[in-house]
Chains A and B, each alone.
Chain A
Amino acid sequence: MTLLRLDGVSKRFGRGGREQTALRDVQLQVAAGELVAVWGRRRSGRTTLLQVAAGVERPSDGSVRFGGVDLARRSMLGRPGGLAYVSTHFVRVIGETVLEHVGAPVLGGNASTSRAQSLAFAALRGVGAVDCADAGVDGLDQAELIRVAIARALVTQPRLLVLDEPTQDLRLARDRDQALELLRSLARRDGIAMLMTVAEAADLAGADRALTIDQGELRGLTQPAMGQVVELRRSRS
């Protein structure tokens, strides 16, 4: 089932003679539970692709649909069953501990503090970072930071995670592999789709589909390779 669908999406910034095209006629479909990785150089349009796909930026042309919902009409960012943008930026006024930061997105949805904490614990456990719950975000190393950022995105129980170079600050191959393994397991185990950009080919390993973006043009297999297999129902005898 197609979860995210971009049709004929272009994005331009600026006006007149200073206009720059960041995305050109992009077609992209992401299926439920699929991990799609997009490799691109700096200024290739890779971050704009994610922002438009998440509904953070509106496309200049074309449409972006998530679960059939036109994101220009209704944001699905941070909604239960919607999509979540993974960011390693934590605003200090939100709270002191990791637990408070991870639970913060659901507090806006009228959840009680204890309910938010319970969901935050579950999300941290799901990414293997429950030991960080009482730590301050400033005290986390880069490997912990990305896990906590993913937990904060997961707390709203999204069906799609959008990640911009999730391993960029991880210096050791071991840490990078473990972060990628976490994303793969979230896709396989929990059926959460992922759309992520990567700056290194190493981060394409294990993706269901790998694409490239250059000068705003997305290349490669822009739709799932296989159609959804529908079980044949046995007729009653």
Chain B
Amino acid sequence: MNAGVYQRRSVGDEDAVSQEVVREMRSAVNAGVLSLVIEQPSYGGEIGRRFEERYDGLLSSRPQHIYKALDELRGQGLVEPIELDDGGRLGQPVRGYRATGAGARAYRRWLRSPIQVGSRARHEVMVRLASTRPDDRHTAAFLLDAYEHAVLTLARNHPVRSDNVIDRLIDEERRTLADAQLRWIARARDELRTDSVEHGP
């Protein structure tokens, strides 16, 4: 049973680990940029384009945010500059970035760090899932477990109010959302299982 993920550490320990990793990564945009550079060394413009495709609706993809993230990641030693072929457009190498060993380790730590239960859990899970390699089903399963834990905790703690119709309608909307989230998680696990059968563990 997979309950152990949440039972091995106390809540205080999880918070400390989570905050430490978040401090290291500084922002979700930085983490997203790092994951794209790990996936494929790229130059700024291309990273921006891929970022927009990957994190559409989840993270801001303004160019200044992408370049700021690259500067910070470089300052932390998580990415380093390299010369890349520009694909024959100008026939000249362009300055791009690739991840360092420290960057690859920081990325893995960030992906698997505990997710705090709260209203931001969905966003955190989705950003990390979008940053997960398609063949990394273990991380995807970990994120689904963490997401489910967050949804169940919120649903369980949600106060039941029967005082008036407006309160009940608002509660109903939140509960309907939680139901949809649990159904999505169950379907996502089905997909991972099927993918595992088709492509091997």
Contacts and interface: CB of A to CB of B under 8 A. Distances in A.
B43 to A, nearest CB: 43
- The DSSP consensus for interface residues of chain A is mixed
Contact of A174 (B3, B157, B162): B162
Contacts of A211: 152
A140 interface: no
Interface residues of B, number: 33
Question: Which of A27, A205, A211, A214 neighbours the largest number of chain B CB atoms within 10 Å of its CB?
Answer: A205
B54 interface: no
A118 interface: no
B124 interface: no
Contacts, number: 87
Contacts of B158: 204-205
Contacts of A173: 168, 171-172
B160 A181 contact: yes
A111 interface: no
A235 to B, nearest CB: 31
Interface residues on A, range: 20 to 34
Contacts of B149: 220
Nearest to A213: B186
A219 B1 contact: yes
B199 interface: no
B1 A222 contact: yes
B171 A210 contact: no
Interface string B56-100: 000000000000000000000000000000000000000000000
